[in-house]
Amino acid sequence: MGNFDEYLNHLKELALRNKNLDAALKELLSKYESMDTDTQYQALIKEFGLDDSMRKNQADVVRFKMASMIYVSVLGFEKLSKVPDAQSQIDDLDEIYILISDIAAKYNLCKIPTIGDNMLLAGGVLKPSKTSPIDAVCAACEIMYEVGKLKETSDSIWDLSIGIHTGPALGRFAGKRQIPYTLSGNNALIASRLGSAAEAGHTIISMMTYELVKEFFDMQKIGIMPVKYNGVMDTYLLNGIEKSLKVGDSPIEWGPKFKLIYRRMQFLDIQEEVLDMLETKLPKNLYYHNVKHTIDVTTEVELIGWAEGLSEEDVQLLKVAGLFHDTGHIMKYSGHEECSCEIAADMLPKFNYAPEEIEKIRRIIMATKLPHVPADKLEAVIQDSDLDYLGRSDFIPVSNLLYQELKERNMIGTIDEWNKMQLAFIGKHQYFTQTATSLREVNKQNQIERIEQLLNKSESEAAD
């Protein structure tokens, strides 16, 4: 068994980290949930020309609690009349627009309609995400990097300046697939002002965005900006990914540490989406294979994984596999593991999981299909976590839920038949990790005695 004290200390550090992050987010967002925020939204409503009756009918209006807005200013039009081949420069500009659109798609940013040649992108609009501020700043870094490479290989006259701000926003459906929302108001205006104030080739970030991404990026305070309804706001110059978190001299390539921290935050988004899916789509008569079981397994793989000395990368993959391992019950009961793998393979690419990571998660999920002998520690951890209840003190009530679930599907007969089946199963079962063996094996043996007592009592009552 790994050093259990080290595991507990690590778990405490993670819990404190998450608590501090949640507190920081709540403090920042509370600034926009106050009476001043209501004033901002009233102003937005006036800009949209909406009266109170229209506000109540929000069929075409949506309120975004936290959108990360990127305003990209295109510089160089004053040079266009002075170059010999203006059409070639326009072609270069079109290439830049395509480049920006591709990067926006990579980071799940929504294109917002604007007037003129500048662009407004927004993260957290297509889908709310705790990582959207980080994604927005990563996108800005990559846009500047790629445009810089383009200028090195051509005589392009074009430069960009970028402003990024994170805050609430009010949007209206635009009715277009590629550009689903229009976005306006004070916070969009802040992003545009930051982008206009930045020098060519530079990105300026608002205080709100800075507080949400400061762990990941190298930024320096450069001044203040007046903000409607909120006085003044500090502004920061973006220099790129924080030195210790990037790969070599690359300004855009994440290092392993960056990816680990990012994945911790991203897991909360994946967890929310999967649990919401299970809550709404699982059959109601899944008394055992329900949301609670999914949470139990996801929690247990983390505990056993750390105690067994696995790397954080592998623990994260185990947690994701734990979330998905029973999602296939949405589609069918027997053979649901294969369906779970398909759901994971369909959902995880949008969270930028690589094919090899997804394949590893699929393999871990399939380890829960019994009978199965684990091929490695990862498979052993999830298998022990999935059958953790065999050695828990609440074994009897939990196993009764599983019996009820099977009974309604005509997969088992009487309770005595069920207990005999359990007795045979537990008698042959073994935990594969030292951690689970230490924590659960003794109590698992007690369950054998409890089941035998139940069977003896049933036989006695039948004889009477």
Q: What is the pLDDT of residues 198-245, one digit of tens each?
A: 999 999 999 999 999 999 999 999 999 887 666 789 999 999 999 999
Q: What is the distance, to the nearest Å, from the Cα of residue 393 to the centroid of all Cα atoms in its chain? A: 33
Assess whether 440 and 357 both reside in one domain.
Answer: yes
Say what the pLDDT of residue 328 is. Answer: 98
List the beta bridge partners of residue 205: 164, 236
pLDDT of residue 282: 97
Q: Are residues 248 and 287 in the same domain?
A: no
Could you tell me the pLDDT band of residue 20, with boundaries at 50, 70 and 90? low
**43 pLDDT higher than 60:** no
- Cα angle, residue 101 at apex, residues 260 and 32 outer, rounded to 5°: 65
CA distances from 446 to 203, 335, 394, 426 (A): 64, 31, 12, 11
pTM score, whole prediction: 0.81
Give domain status of residue 23, yes or no: no
CA atoms of 406 and 424, how far apart (whole Å): 17
What is the model's pLDDT at position 229? 63
Q: Which distant-in-sequence residues (6+ apart) come within 8 Å of 210 by Cβ?
A: 219, 234, 236
- Are 264 and 290 contained in the same domain? yes
pLDDT score for 116: 81
Same domain, 280 and 210: no
Tell me what pLDDT residue 268 has. Answer: 93
Confidence class for position 160, pLDDT limits 50, 70, 90: very high
Question: Under 8 Å CB-to-CB from 463, ≥6 apart: which residues?
Answer: none
pLDDT recorded at residue 40: 47
297 and 243 in a single domain? The answer is: no
Least confident of 115-119, 214-218, 341-345: 115-119
| CA separation for the pair 116, 200 (Å, rounded) | 18
pLDDT for the residue numbered 9: 60
Q: Are 271 and 347 in contact (CB under 8 A)?
A: no
Q: What is the mean pLDDT of residues 149-163?
A: 91
Q: How many whole angstroms separate alpha carbon 125 and alpha carbon 118?
A: 19
pLDDT at position 462 is 73
Residue 330 shares a structural domain with residue 442: yes
What pLDDT is attached to residue 178? 55
What domain range is 407 assigned to? 260-463
- pLDDT value of residue 215: 94
Annotate 187-214 with b (16+ C-beta within 10 A) or e (fewer): bbbbbbbbbebbeeebbbbbbbbbbbbe
Residue 369 C-beta-side C-alpha neighbours within 13 Å: 16
Q: Chain-wide mean pLDDT for the chain?
A: 86
- Check whether residue 176 and residue 230 sit in a common domain: yes
Q: Residue 66: what pLDDT?
A: 86
Q: Which residue has the higher pLDDT, 127 or 32?
A: 127
Least confident of 40-54, 56-70, 207-221, 223-237: 40-54
- Please report whether residue 389 resides in a domain: yes
Q: What is the pLDDT of residue 459?
A: 81
pLDDT surpassing 70 at residue 19: no
- Final residue in a domain of this structure, among 225, 252, 279: 252
Give the per-residue pLDDT at 51. 43
Which residue type sits at 141?
C
CB 225 within 8 A of CB 232: yes
**Residues 355-406: tens digit of each pLDDT:** 999 999 999 999 999 999 999 999 999 999 999 999 999 999 999 999 999 9
CA distance 294 to 299: 9
d(C-alpha 359, C-alpha 418), whole Å = 35
Q: Tell me if 192 is assigned to some domain.
A: yes
| CA proximity to 325, closest of 300, 308, 343 | 343
Residue 219 is part of a domain; what is its CATH number? Answer: 3.30.70.1230
pLDDT at 23: 59
Give the pLDDT of residue 248. 84
pLDDT band at residue 62, thresholds of 50, 70 and 90? confident
Task: Provide, rounded to the nearest whole percent, the portion of the chain with pLDDT above 70.
Answer: 84
- Looking at the fold, whether 382 and 305 belong to one and the same domain comes out as yes
What's the rounded mean pLDDT across residues 102-115?
A: 87
Confidence of residue 115 (pLDDT cuts 50, 70, 90): confident
pLDDT band at 114 (very low <50, low <70, confident <90, very high): confident
The stretch 145-161 carries a mean pLDDT of 91
Say if residue 428's pLDDT is above 70. yes
On whether both 295 and 242 belong to a single domain, the answer is no
The answer to whether residue 26 is domain-embedded is no
Same domain, 149 and 72: yes
> How does residue 16 score in pLDDT terms, banded at 50, 70 and 90?
low
Banded model confidence at residue 151, pLDDT cuts 50, 70, 90: confident
Nearest to 133 by CA among 119, 122, 120: 122
36 pLDDT exceeds 80? no
Single out the residue in 228, 252, 276 at which a domain terminates: 252
* Residue 139 placed within a domain: yes
**Residue 8, domain member (yes or no):** no
Q: Give pLDDT, residue 172.
A: 75
Quote the pLDDT of residue 21. Answer: 53
In a domain? residue 9: no
CB-CB neighbours of 432 under 10 Å: 17
> Does 145 map to a domain?
yes
Q: Are residues 142 and 222 in the same domain?
A: yes
In this prediction, residues 18-44 reach a mean pLDDT of: 50
Number of domains in the chain: 2
Contact 100, 116 (CB under 8 A): no
290: domain CATH number is: 1.10.3210.10
More confident residue, 60 or 141: 141
Please check whether residues 322 and 236 belong to one and the same domain: no
Q: Is the pLDDT of residue 22 over 60?
A: no
The pLDDT score that the predictor gives to residue 111 is: 87
Contact 234/210 with Cβ under 8 angstroms? yes
**End-of-domain residue from the set 252, 273, 292:** 252
Q: How confident is the model at residue 250 (pLDDT cuts 50, 70, 90)?
A: confident
